[in-house]
Amino acid sequence: MANAPSAESLARTLIGLLADAAFVFAEPTDAALPANGDTLVAHLTMAHGESWELCVCVQDKLGDMLAANLLGTESETGEARAAAADAVGELANILAGALAVDLFGKDVVCQIGIPAVAIESGRVASDRLTKASCHANLLTEEGYALAVALIVVPTTAGGA
């Protein structure tokens, strides 16, 4: 059975990926996601013997910025806005690959699901994060909040 990484390890992994893949710079914070406003929330599952749900939550404006940086356009464009959910899903996918190595080792095959992205209120997203085995809150240098969490998915009796 894998142990969840520490909040510090989770934050460090996400900070590195944001900087390398999307040119976004962030630091850990104690502040939660803002309760008001929209949050883009990406979920995907990771499994190797046990199952985990990875949840990546970003303020909607940060989703625009991630998409713009990945596409090489301005964050205020309709193109960036239209691609924001896909960008957050891709960030979750990249993060899942890095976390799979941390959780299960580099020589272990892990099943990683396809990210599903939805818009939730900051309050709903924050409530979900409190149930996590491990979570970290980050704040970008532009002042946008994001959070990442790993949640153990309980197995059913008789199920795998």
Rounded CA-CA distance 42/122 in Å is: 13
Q: Name the residue with tokens 């996590």.
A: 132
CB-based contact 4:134 (threshold 8 Å): yes
Backbone CA torsion sign across 56, 71, 74, 86 = negative
Domain count, the chain: 1
Give the mean model confidence (pLDDT) for residues 18-30.
Answer: 91
Report pLDDT digits (tens) over 116-148.
Answer: 999 998 888 888 888 788 899 999 999 999 999
pLDDT tier, 2 (very low <50, low <70, confident <90, very high otherwise) = low
Which domain does 116 fall in, by range? 7-153
Quote the pTM value: 0.89
103 found inside a domain: yes
- The tokens describing 144, both together, are 């946008």
Given a cut of 60, whether residue 158 has pLDDT beyond it is: no
Q: What is the CATH number of the domain that holds 56?
A: 3.40.1550.10
Report pLDDT digits (tens) over 76-118.
Answer: 888 888 999 999 999 999 999 988 888 778 888 889 999 999 9
Angular region, 72: left φ>0, alpha ψ -120 to 50, beta rest: left
132 found inside a domain: yes
